[in-house]
Structures are given as C-alpha cells and as structure tokens.
Structure 1
Amino acid sequence: MAIESVETIFLFVPNLIDYGRVVFAFAAFYFMQTNYKLAAFLYLLSGFLDAFDGHAARMLNQGSKLGAMLDQLIDRFTTMCLMAALCYFYPKYMLFFQFSMTVDIVSHWFHLQSSLMKGSGSHKILDLSANPILRHYYHNKIILFLMCAGNELFYCLLYVKYFTDGPSVGNLGLVTVLLYPCGVIAVMKIIISFLQLYAAMANVASIDVADRTAAKASSPHQKKAS
C-alpha cells in the first residue's frame, strides 16, 4: 500500500471542495458592491458545497485533520466577511453584526479547543455529559443542516434586501417573507452558540480541576503530609 504524502492530503477531494468554497466566497465578496445577484449566488454556492465535503470524506475514506480545520475556518470566515459587508450596508445595526460574529467565533473556538483537549477527533463530537440540545444539534444531520442553512440564508437575504425586496407576495416582498423564518433560525443559532460556549468552557474548567487535583496529589507537600 502506497504511503500517503503531504501533497496527497492536500489533494483529497473534500479538501479540493473546500478550496473551491474559498474561491467562490471571495468572488462573492468581490462583486458585493456591484452585482448583488452574482454575489448572492456565489456566496450561497460556497455554502452549498459545505454539504458535500463531509460526504466525500466519508465516501472516499479521505477524512483528515487538515480537512476538519479547513471546514471549520471556512465556515467562520465566510460568515464573518458577509457580516462585515452588512456592517457597511446597514451601519445602524453594526453592533448586532459585531455581536453575532463574536459569539459565533468565540463559541466555536472554545468548542474546538475543548474537543482537542478531551481527545475528540472532531469539533462535532460531544461527550454524553454535554448539553442535550447541543447533542441533538450536532448529531442530527437534518437539524444541523436546517439550522446552518437557515442562519446563512438569513444574513444573505439581508444583503439582498438592501438592493431589492423581490417579487410581491401579498403585501410583502418575497425577500422579507423569507427573512422572518430565517431570522427565527438565526436567533436560535445564537442561543445554541451560547450553550456551546458554556459547555466548552465547563469542559475546559473540568480539565483544570482534574489537572489541579493531580498536581496537588503529586506535590511534595501532599506526599509528606500523607
């Protein structure tokens, strides 16, 4: 059996999909001020491909730590860059977008770090003592897809609404009609991010407690007292 090289890992199909996501995302950012239709299409295409890298990794047995890191970081920076654009288009709501970016990035960073400290192979693997809402969120693929897709669609629709409200649906434009259910999902996603942050911080704190207990037990003073 051939030994896999660094170049081989770089060329894993899931990683190639992630590279494509980056290209499409930056193409979307390039057109955001000049062509909202193309920008929205490219951004959603980049997000849509996120649903395929995991399937490709499992189907082709090409899961990798590099791919997991790429997937995590691409998710974060694409959403962050879109929100940065929304700060430009909706300056009155800048604080909300900054708050949303912060919660998303910090909660996922803590979650990833706590997973690595506990030896998990993926940021989506939770121990059984974790919050049941998070457990269902990460292990039910339908819920995970709907939540992530709805959240991304909410911010993308906000971007599109700056330019047009779309065709009329009753007394409202189609974009506004879609914004309401997606907005509910976006709020739920923020709440889940807070739960994720607390669970991750609790996991790290439990590791601290175990380390401090072990350090005290092995200290010369404790051995002498015993």
Structure 2
Amino acid sequence: MDLQLIFNVPNIIDYLRIILLFFGITQPDNIFSVSYIISSSLDFFDGHAARAFNQCSVLGGCLDMIIDRISTVIIGLRMLKKNIEYYRFVSFYILIDLLSHFVHFTVSCMTMSHHKNNTNVIMQIYYNKFVLFPICLLSEAFFISAIVLEKKHRVVNLLQIVCWLKTFFHIVQLLSAIMTMSDIKMKLN
C-alpha cells in the first residue's frame, strides 16, 4: 500500500469532492447547488495538480472518472426530485454517460492508453479543451438551473441542447470504444 500515492495532492482534491457530494445531498437546493458547484469546479484542478506535481496515477484517473460519474447521477437525481418531467431525458443522459465512460475507461486500461487519446476525429474535437470545457460547464449549468429556476425556464431549455450535444459525443465515445475493444485479442480465462 502506497500511502503517498493514496494521499497525494490530486487524490486529496478528489476526496474533498466526495465529501462535498455527501454533504450536499442532505441539504436544501441552494446549499446543495453551491456544494455541487464547488465539487465540480475542483474537477478542473485535480488533473492540473496531478501534472504540476508529477502525481499522475491509475488511482487518480479512476477516482476522477468515478467521481464524475457519481456526480452525474447525484445531480440527475436531485433534478428529478424537483422536476420529474425530465425523467426520460435524465435517465437516457445518465445511461449513456455511465455506459460510454465505463466501456471507454475499460478499453483505455486494456490498451494502457490515456482515456483522452483517441484516434476518432469526433472524439478529438470533443476532447479539445476549447470544446470540452464549455460543453461540460454548460451541461452542469443545465442541471443546476433546472434545480434553482422555475420549471420550464427558457434558460433551462436552451442549456438542455448542450446536454444533447454532450450525449451525442458520449454515444460516439461508446461506439469507438466498442470497436476498439472488438480488436483486442486476449483471453479472459
């Protein structure tokens, strides 16, 4: 067991994200939203800290991806608590998000490649920081807006379009990962 790795700077940031999520789920909408926004914002810093301190690790990559997926489920559930009419959309969004990321992450582990290294042109566009950051930010804004604003607010409807775009990229990611996985020749027994 490597305690220095377990408690390195980027992993501590991820543990803080988990604590904020635990805290937020028991709070009213406004405090939940602030807690969630801080947790999501810290996602931006864990990767930068890992590279800055030369602390990139498999554990850190796993924590980051899993916390991102858990965050998606938590924000989706919180939104449904207030706006059940989004049930189909949120269910589809979470299903594609979880499926695409877990299959893609599995392929990345099997091929020992970084999850953002992708030969698919569409995924290269998505992982460009000038595309990925605004899409992620606006997707998070959709969920927060749906929680704190009135039902069917125009802003919520506009931001939902970005979530559909993100889902499109996740479908491409899933298909790309499935195609890559089908080319891997190895025995599992």
TM-score under structure 2 normalisation? 0.91
* Alignment-mate amino acid for residue 160 of structure 1: V
1:100 maps to 2:93: yes
Q: Distance in 1 between matches of 2:177 and 2:105?
A: 8
Q: In the alignment, does 2:117 pair up with 1:125?
A: yes
Q: Which has the larger radius of gyration?
A: 1
Gaps of 5+ in 2: none
Task: Give the deviation of 1:190 after TM superposition.
Answer: 0.6
Q: CA RMSD in A?
A: 1.9
Give distance in 1, aligned partners of 2:80 and 2:86: 7
* Aligned counterparts, 1:3-14, within 5 A: 6-14=2-10
User: Where do 1:31-42 residues align within 5 Å?
Assistant: 31=27, 35-42=28-35
Residue pairs, 1:1-226, within 5 angstroms: 6-31=2-27, 35-120=28-113, 122-126=114-118, 128=119, 131-138=120-127, 140-161=128-149, 164=150, 176-207=153-184, 210=185
Amino acid at match of 2:145: L
Identity within the alignment, %: 32
TM-score after normalising by structure 1: 0.77
Does the 8 A contact of 2:83 with 2:146 survive in 1? no
Unmatched segments (≥5 aa) in structure 1: 166-174, 213-226
Instruction: Give 4+ residue runs of structure 1 displaced > 6 Å after superposition.
Output: none
TM-aligned CA deviation for residue 145 of structure 1: 1.1
Shift of 1:85: 2.1
Amino acid at match of 2:106: Q
Residues 96, 167 of structure 2: 8 Å contact kept: yes
The Cα shift of 1:180 comes to 4.0
**How far apart, in 1, do the equivalents of 2:63 and 2:40 lie?**
13
